[in-house]
Amino acid sequence: MPKMTPVVRTISEIRSLVAEWKKEGLRVGLVPTMGALHHGHLSLVNAITEHSDRIIVSIFVNPTQFGAHEDLDKYPRQEASDREKLAATPASIVFAPSVEEMYPSGHTTRVTLDGLSEILEGANRIGHFDGVATIVSKLFMQCQPDVAIFGEKDYQQLAVIRQFTRDLDIPVQILGGKLIRESDGLAASSRNAYLSEKERRIAGTFNVILKELVSKAEAGEDLRVLEGEASDALLKAGFTAVDYVSIVHKDTLHEIHEITEEARVVSVARLGDIRLLDNMAIKAP
């Protein structure tokens, strides 16, 4: 039988385990995931190792961050293979609660944010970040980590989590994990598995088009023109739709008109029903 990282499934179990670790003076790290783990997730586990003595990897497909027409039912659930992959990392325990454990009958509370959660992804996926903020807040309360890490692929999600953690005075250090890419530069994502062979080839052009935008932005070209050119290039490459290509402030994610400090290009392009996210840093001149 393959080696697997041990699993607990209830809030009482994880709290009891963390209490034991804390009594020993150990520092606890949390890597929240929705499972279907790939090398991007595993890189987060390895990255948090230097900041923690014990590492919890949560696996929970959170229904409150999916919209009515999104892929909740189709989202891959591969707990056994996830635990096998984690066995080769420093992960200490998997926390894999049921929906009923996380949202028992009568649960009515949501964590909501103004501003940052209403633009870009928030405007395209109404209520998505309320679901993210709620589940991450619950995981922080349940696991009581000293530090937690989130991948930079979901750049706006990372910004949202940093914001509500500050606003609510939650004593958890938030780390950003480097965006991990496939050999052709496509951002690693569980949803890449949905792509057909043809779609996968098209997807590989996403990062190439954004790199060209970054190069031109750093050379001082007009930012709005560059956004339009990149959108056109994505459609020409075979993407079926572009939700947005936006050059924004790296922290507030508000649109900017010139590069005076490090900025970010954030983008979502679609291949059929599959939404692909990417982002890149733009250096100041």
Catalytic residues: 41
Angle between helices 223-237 and 206-218 (to 10 degrees): 160
- Interatomic CA distance for residues 267 and 139, integer angstroms: 28
- Interatomic CA distance for residues 93 and 169, integer angstroms: 26
DSSP code per residue over 229-260:
HHHHHHHHHT-SEEEEEEEEETTT--B-SS-S
Residue 184's nearest CA partner among 237, 224, 226 is 237
Cβ atoms within 10 Å, residue 108: 5
DSSP code per residue over 7-50:
EE-SHHHHHHHHHHHHHTT--EEEEEE-S---HHHHHHHHHHGG
SS3 state of residue 56: strand
| Contact call for residues 263 and 200 (beta carbons, < 8 A) | no
Query: Which helix (H) or strand (E) segment is 54 a member of?
Result: strand 54-59
- Interatomic CA distance for residues 70 and 59, integer angstroms: 19
Distances (CA, A) of 221 to 213, 225, 240, 283: 9, 8, 27, 13
Distances (CA, A) of 4 to 58, 63, 75, 154: 14, 26, 22, 28
**Radius of gyration over alpha carbons of the chain, in Å?**
19
